[in-house]
Structure 1
Amino acid sequence: MTSDNPLLLDNQLCFALYSTSLAMTQLYKEPLSAIGLTYPQYTVMLILWEQDGVSLKHIGNALGQKSGALTPVIKRMEADGLVQRLRGVDDDRSLSIALTEKGKKLREQGLEVNRCVAEACGINLEEIISLREQLIGLRRKLTK
């Protein structure tokens, strides 16, 4: 804490997390723009590059978002030829999202985005891993 005043903005953990999140998202903006993705689209692609053909519900759960909030993002990605939405054979209410060939090929450029961002952070891999683990631990405590 920078002073004994608990209500100073600079003393707030929430503000440190919020402002850092904004800065991180801004850092991604240029390299993602170069490959035609927004940050929300990139997070969806990360999930699909890990496991292709998953349900919209799975993507929403992984991102901590409601499916309805992701629908416009997915529709835009489909219009851009990156993914396809597939209705269930037995239940047309179920929706899975699969990469197209164009979406699969974008993975290599995604690796370059990841490398650029890691380099821009200016901390070593061990520090990145430690910070990420601390943030995941905090998120788990907050979402119990």
Structure 2
Amino acid sequence: MVAEGVQPAIRCVGGIVFDRGGRLLLVRRVNPPGEGLWSIPGGRVEQGETDHEAVTRELFEETGLSVTAGALIGRVTRPAEGRVYEIHDYLCQVRSGVLRAGDDASDARWTSVAILSTLRVSDLLVEGLYTTLDEWGQLPRS
């Protein structure tokens, strides 16, 4: 039971993925929260799934890429209409696949420092993404 005034937390995962050139993988979200904005790919952990299973599934569904999930980089919370998303972000390595937008993404792309900066100043990134990635040392390296 959830105490009155306390929003239920929904466990989610995100995948921080870089290509060989150091560019960061981003997707443009189709659904709230952050609809129409760019973010790292990810989503809800389904019942019975581990975080690593969920991030592997979510990345494949949203980007067409098969990844190996690695270390937990950090955790953020994002409030949204009557609930809170508790997002655990993992560093991932691409194993195979061809990048394409799918499932909850209208677009998917590798982003350089310049592109990420342009998205930031254009207010096209989900709230707090740039600052969080910067604090975690996970900005694009090219």
TM-score (norm 1): 0.25
- More strand per residue: 1 or 2? 2
Q: Which has the higher contact order (CA 8 A, sep 6+)?
A: 2
- More helix per residue: 1 or 2? 1
TM-score (norm 2): 0.25
Bigger radius of gyration among the two: 1
